[in-house]
Amino acid sequence: QKEVEQNSGPLSVPEGAIASLNCTYSDRVSQSFFWYRQYSGKSPELIMSIYSNGDKEDGRFTAQLNKASQYVSLLIRDSQPSDSATYLCAVTKNDMRFGAGTRLTVKP
Amino acid sequence: DAGVTQSPTHLIKTRGQQVTLRCSPISGHKSVSWYQQVLGQGPQFIFQYYEKEERGRGNFPDRFSARQFPNYSSELNVNALLLGDSALYLCASSLDKYNQPQHFGDGTRLSIL
């Protein structure tokens, strides 16, 4: 079992729709959870961090964490073509481990 | 404020050679981590350094080594390069060693011929 698993996609949504990205992790004692966005040929950019169960909202982005289910998700509301990128889920205990990423395409 | 800076941007080496990659963290950040990213995969953790000491090591061979300097900058060294070492090498910095968000530099693209 991989430490951090994400659906590889690609996930395609129309402009203005909600994009839902999911991530599961294997280490129950993981403590911090992050979502990064990576455009093609660029480095990862931090977009959300979440540390406790529940929802955390930042603009069009909402991160959701359920430690009992070892599940973290990212919702992107009113998706824009500029949101088209690979989204990486990262989980930390002593060091940071990444999933393989989900490629999102937002179609105009 | 400047972000994480890495040098060089691109590097071409041949098998068996050695390479040194450099990283300067965000001002005030004391922790530096190194990652390897191959196409289609997420970053794979190589090392974390905090206050000049190794705080974590991923599943990489001993050909990979790193160090952190008193000014918190860091170097990643890879010896006896293999074709499979071709990848994007990313450096990330954070305020401390645990659970803090990490901020990435633009990476060094290493190609092995």
Residue pLDDT, tens place only, A32-87: 999 999 999 999 999 999 999 999 999 999 999 999 999 999 999 999 999 999 99
Helix or strand or coil: residue B91? strand
Determine, for residues B48 and A43 on separate chains, whether the beta-carbon distance falls below 8 Å. no
* CA separation, residue B48 to residues A16, A59, B35, B89 (Å): 40, 32, 9, 14
Give the gap in angstroms from C-alpha A65 to the nearest C-alpha of chain B: 15
Helix H, strand E, coil C: the string for A1-13 is: CCCEEECCCCEEE
Percent helix, percent strand, percent coil in chain A, to nearest 5: 5, 55, 40
Give the gap in angstroms from C-alpha A35 to the nearest C-alpha of chain B: 10
- CA dist A40 and B90 (Å) reads 14
Comparing CB atoms, the residue among A92, A97, A98 nearest residue B99 is A92
Side-chain-facing half-sphere of B87: CA atoms under 13 Å: 21
pLDDT classification of B68: cutoffs 50, 70, 90: very high
Determine, for residues B33 and A34 on separate chains, whether the beta-carbon distance falls below 8 Å. no
- Residue B58 clears pLDDT 90, i.e. is over it: yes
**Could you report the per-residue pLDDT of B74-110, keeping only the tens digit for each?**
999 999 999 999 999 999 999 986 778 899 999 999 9
For chain A, the residue count is 108
Burial category of A104 from C-beta neighbours within 10 Å (exposed 0-12, middle 13-18, buried 19 and up): buried
CA angle A97, B79, B36 (to 5 degrees): 20
Q: What is the pLDDT of residue A47?
A: 96
Q: Which residues of A touch B (CB under 8 A)?
A: 4, 31-32, 34, 36, 42-46, 49, 51, 88, 90, 92, 94-101
